[in-house]
């Protein structure tokens, strides 16, 4: 079998005409050498691969600097409305290649490094993933950044960071109040100016550190927001006192989950205590400025801060929260007199047990718009999680289904597939993913079917080689690549996947001569430091793999691999290679998911429940083109009313009983027979996510997967239908909806030529400027 084309060779074939002008290779080489010599002070005799990487990074960055300065000059002149997207996570991954793709420089840089005798793929591997997040929340924010710059009419400013979570580089040395602590962080002094640099926080630990990080983020951001507004013509009309009347028309603050929720009391503190506005005026400004995105329906995941911690660290903010709560409850009591249970449910202050502040309630009360991130999720928060608030102010609640960036998740990570798509329908889909619908005309095209199948097999060969090199495990590249990569959590039900793998193992052992469709199961993700069951799930995956992967009877018919240190750059390798995408959360528990969309775009079929964005994926592609199984939300709700008994399933289903008995007896952990007793106990006695209830349906659905996989042509036709109908799930669409329906701005695509830079187009900013923090 011939080796697959390298990504470099594929990229030389793919057209990216719609993204930017093409840079002269000779100029790139000159700039590369200039940075190597004058920025890094090295020559080819002493330079290391890391030096070459930095020389390339500086060369690419040169193409951003002029755009950045010109854009800021335009903002200064036009004084646009600014949208500030506050998030505690931006899970960026690697940025060099992504920047080259977005600037249209990838091909030219590939050729330049080739002519310089360097390997582009080796240089890209030197870059570490930026440590600015660890899950879907951070990836969503990072994808939004990409989409923002796709709309030149929605340009952005961004927080400049170096070394991820380890160190941040402040754009200016502004000072601001930080928790009222003195500059040692040891004594409350009312209000203290400190340098707005995260290194100030390094000596705090645990929950206290987390709260200070959250406050630092919003305090520094709001200081900058106020400074910008005061310097504008709207903020400086009164020479004696700043007028904040136009503030909501010039500033919008989007809270990405509850982590930046302290922006609400902090803005009130600034307006009331410092700017001397009366409460009602300040509150009107705050609500009209802020909007809130909810990312979870799990009650335990909604952030709550103990009152005693806020009393110690942020006493003035606690006073403000109490005042907000009292005024809000007065309104509720007037509307529903004597309904004390409603007052308790809707209060910002939870009195039972440890007294705590419900930050989600604070966000809802203090925002003019609240949105979920998939239609089913938005319906659930209106019907159950925030039902009382929805009944009070239904006009506040919206849906904004999540999306992913096709630049990173197709053009960058799967250039072969991007190429064969562009050959059929052109490259407009790169910036308008709805163009993929044109591929529906090619579902029965024999040539396109062969090309799509070939690209998938090349990606699988490449990832199999990566696994052999990094994990020292040899897998069958012709096996079905069955992938579940996401945060490790009970509700995401990696355990259901494990039960299926053990069931397959037992079937092969029982009848080794029977034909089985070869399958390589890969699970990846990270567990929260204090989440015991999640860590045990990881141990279970590795233990099952140790047994199966070393059983000579099993051979290459079944493998199980835990993908360690799952991160963006690893996702970029495994997602293009996947045949099957596992999206198997209990119905009604997953807010949306974005991994499901990435797999769909890259030609993996989905096995999943009707949960999160799976519902809308099934609507777009047709439920018959996904492998849908298990309970729906209403079934789960009915089971909750009647009661779920795991033992009933254990007693009734022999294969399930065998699997659980193996876990209980230490079959997969012979040196520690009781190792998985906590998992078994949870599954049998305290499983909120009802793994056993969906076991039979899941096993049957997996049998359908194996049956279809044997027919390459029919499998690939479903793959094409999925790719062709994935256009809805672009983050470009998501951001455009936020802009129009929450922030009140209009995304545009206008461009103007950049002065003094030949052949390069600059975005023409609209009166709307986005700042991500």
Please name every residue paired with 130 in a beta bridge, in sequence order, or none if there are none: 93
For CA atoms 711, 712, 718, 719, the dihedral sign is positive
Phi and psi based region of residue 565 (left: phi greater than 0; alpha: psi -120 to 50; beta: remaining):
left
Question: How far apart are the C-alpha atoms of 664 and 658, rounded to whole Å?
Answer: 10
The answer to whether 400 is a known catalytic residue is: no
Coil, strand or helix at 288: helix
Question: How far apart are the C-alpha atoms of 372 and 388, rounded to whole Å?
Answer: 16
The answer to whether 598 is a known catalytic residue is: yes
Six token digits for residue 328: 């809000």
> Per the residue annotation, which of 487, 557, 690, 733 is the catalytic one?
487
> Per the residue annotation, which of 492, 519, 557, 690 is the catalytic one?
492
* Contact (Cβ atoms closer than 8 angstroms) between residue 515 and residue 507: no
The answer to whether 63 is a known catalytic residue is: no
Q: What is the DSSP string of 467-529?
A: HHHHH-----TTSEEEEEES---GGGTHHHHHHHHHHHHHHHHH-TTS----EEEEEE----T
> Per the residue annotation, which of 11, 70, 295, 396 is the catalytic one?
295
Question: How far apart are the C-alpha atoms of 133 and 161, rounded to whole Å?
Answer: 13
Strands of the sheet containing 349-350, edge to edge, are: 304-306, 356-358, 349-350
The answer to whether 690 is a known catalytic residue is: no
E strand intervals along 74-116: 81-86
Q: Cα angle at 104 between 102 and 108, to 5 degrees? A: 135
Question: How far apart are the C-alpha atoms of 431 and 653, rounded to whole Å?
Answer: 50
Q: Cα angle at 742 between 773 and 132, to 5 degrees? A: 20
The answer to whether 295 is a known catalytic residue is: yes
Phi first, then psi, for residue 717 (nearest 5°) are -60, -40
* Contact (Cβ atoms closer than 8 angstroms) between residue 619 and residue 426: no
SS3 sequence of 208-270: HHHHHHHHHHHHHHHHHHHHHHHHCCCCCCCCCCCCCCCHHHHEEEEEECCCCCCHHHHHHHH
Residue 478: C-alpha distances to residues 7, 176, 454, 505, 574 (Å): 21, 59, 12, 19, 15
Question: How far apart are the C-alpha atoms of 718 and 707, rounded to whole Å?
Answer: 14
* Contact (Cβ atoms closer than 8 angstroms) between residue 599 and residue 723: no
Question: How far apart are the C-alpha atoms of 619 and 606, rounded to whole Å?
Answer: 13
Q: What are 435-444's contacts with CB under 8 Å, separation 24+?
A: 435/727, 436/723, 436/724, 436/725, 436/726, 436/727, 437/724, 437/725, 437/727, 438/724, 439/720, 439/723, 439/724, 440/721, 440/724, 440/725, 442/720, 443/717, 443/720, 443/721, 443/724, 444/717
Question: How far apart are the C-alpha atoms of 101 and 413, rounded to whole Å?
Answer: 10
* Contact (Cβ atoms closer than 8 angstroms) between residue 486 and residue 136: yes
* Contact (Cβ atoms closer than 8 angstroms) between residue 357 and residue 214: no
Please name every residue paired with 183 in a beta bridge, in sequence order, or none if there are none: none
> Per the residue annotation, which of 408, 500, 598, 718 is the catalytic one?
598
Six token digits for residue 76: 């200064």
* Contact (Cβ atoms closer than 8 angstroms) between residue 588 and residue 604: no
Residue listed under structure tokens 């390459």: 712
Longest dimension (CA), the chain: 89
Q: What are 341-344's contacts with CB under 8 Å, separation 24+?
A: 342/388
The answer to whether 594 is a known catalytic residue is: yes
Phi first, then psi, for residue 202 (nearest 5°) are -65, -20
> Per the residue annotation, which of 35, 139, 250, 486 is the catalytic one?
486
> Per the residue annotation, which of 258, 594, 716, 734 is the catalytic one?
594
Q: What positions carry a catalytic annotation?
A: 295, 486-487, 492, 594, 598
């Amino acid at each position: 079998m011939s080796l697959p084309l390298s990504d470099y060779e594929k990229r030389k074939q793919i057209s990216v005409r719609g993204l930017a002008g093409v840079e002269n290779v000779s100029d790139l080489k000159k700039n590369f050498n200039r940075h190597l010599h004058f920025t890094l002070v090295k020559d080819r005799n002493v330079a290391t691969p890391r030096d070459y990487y930095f020389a390339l990074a500086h060369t690419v960055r040169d193409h951003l600097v002029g755009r950045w300065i010109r854009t800021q000059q335009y903002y200064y002149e036009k004084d646009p409305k600014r949208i500030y997207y506050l998030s505690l996570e931006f899970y960026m991954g690697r940025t060099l290649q992504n920047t080259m793709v977005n600037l249209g420089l990838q091909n030219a840089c590939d050729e330049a490094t080739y002519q310089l005798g360097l390997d582009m793929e080796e240089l890209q591997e030197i870059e570490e993933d930026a440590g600015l997040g660890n899950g879907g929340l951070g990836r969503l924010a990072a994808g939004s950044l990409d989409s923002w710059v796709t709309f030149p009419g929605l340009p952005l400013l961004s927080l400049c960071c170096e070394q991820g979570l380890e160190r941040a580089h402040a754009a200016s040395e502004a000072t601001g109040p930080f928790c009222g602590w003195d500059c040692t962080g040891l004594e409350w002094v009312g209000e203290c100016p400190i340098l707005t640099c995260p290194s100030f926080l390094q000596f705090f630990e645990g929950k206290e550190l987390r709260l200070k990080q959250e406050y630092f983020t919003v305090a520094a951001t709001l200081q900058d927001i106020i400074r910008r507004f005061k310097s504008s013509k709207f903020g400086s009309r009164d020479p004696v006192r700043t007028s904040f009347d136009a503030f909501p028309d010039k500033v919008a603050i989007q809270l990405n989950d509850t982590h930046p929720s302290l922006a609400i009391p902090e803005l009130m503190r600034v307006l009331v205590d410092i700017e001397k506005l009366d409460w009602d005026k300040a509150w009107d400004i705050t609500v009209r400025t802020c909007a809130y995105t909810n990312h979870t329906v799990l009650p335990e995941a909604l952030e709550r801060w103990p009152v005693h911690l806020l009393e110690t660290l942020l006493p003035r903010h606690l006073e403000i929260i109490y005042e907000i709560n009292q005024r809000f409850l007065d309104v509720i009591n007037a509307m529903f007199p004597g309904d004390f249970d409603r007052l308790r449910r809707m209060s910002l202050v939870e009195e039972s047990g440890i007294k705590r502040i419900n930050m989600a309630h604070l966000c809802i009360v203090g925002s003019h718009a609240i949105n979920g991130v998939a239609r089913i999720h938005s319906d659930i928060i209106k019907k159950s999680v925030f039902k009382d608030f929805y009944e009070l102010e239904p006009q506040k609640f919206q849906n904004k289904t999540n999306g992913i960036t096709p630049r990173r998740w197709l053009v960058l990570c799967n250039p072969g597939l991007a190429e064969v798509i562009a050959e059929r329908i052109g490259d407009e889909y790169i910036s308008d993913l709805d163009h993929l619908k044109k591929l529906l005309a090619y579902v029965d095209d024999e040539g396109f079917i062969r090309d799509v199948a070939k690209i998938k097999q090349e990606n699988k060969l490449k990832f199999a080689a990566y696994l052999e090199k990094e994990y020292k495990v040899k897998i069958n590249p012709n096996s079905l690549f069955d992938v579940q990569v996401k945060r490790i959590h009970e509700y995401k039900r990696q355990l259901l996947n494990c039960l299926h793998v053990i069931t397959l193992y037992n079937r092969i052992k029982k009848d080794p001569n029977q034909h089985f469709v070869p399958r390589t199961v890969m699970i990846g993700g990270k567990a929260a430091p204090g989440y015991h069951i999640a860590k045990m799930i990881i141990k279970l995956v590795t233990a099952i793999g140790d047994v199966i992967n070393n059983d000579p009877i099993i051979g290459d018919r079944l493998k199980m691999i835990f993908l360690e240190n799952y991160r963006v750059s690893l996702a970029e390798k495994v997602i293009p290679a996947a045949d099957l995408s596992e999206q198997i959360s209990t119905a009604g528990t997953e807010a949306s998911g974005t991994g499901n969309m990435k797999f769909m775009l890259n030609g993996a079929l989905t096995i999943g429940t009707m949960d999160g964005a799976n519902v809308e994926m099934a609507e777009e592609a047709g439920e018959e083109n996904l492998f849908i199984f298990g309970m729906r939300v209403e079934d789960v709700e009915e089971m909750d009313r009647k009661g779920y008994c795991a033992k009933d399933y254990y007693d009734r289903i022999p294969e399930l009983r065998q699997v659980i008995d193996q876990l209980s007896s230490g079959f997969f952990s012979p040196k520690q027979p009781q190792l998985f007793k906590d998992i078994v106990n949870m599954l049998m006695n305290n499983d909120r996510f009802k793994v056993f209830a969906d076991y039979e349906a899941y096993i049957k659905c997996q049998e359908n997967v194996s049956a279809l996989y044997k027919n390459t042509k029919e499998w690939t036709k479903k793959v094409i239908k999925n790719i062709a109908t994935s256009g809805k799930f672009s983050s470009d669409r998501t951001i455009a909806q936020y802009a129009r329906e929450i922030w009140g701005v209009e995304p545009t695509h206008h461009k103007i030529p950049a002065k003094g830079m030949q052949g390069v187009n600059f975005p023409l900013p609209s009166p709307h400027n986005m700042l991500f923090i």
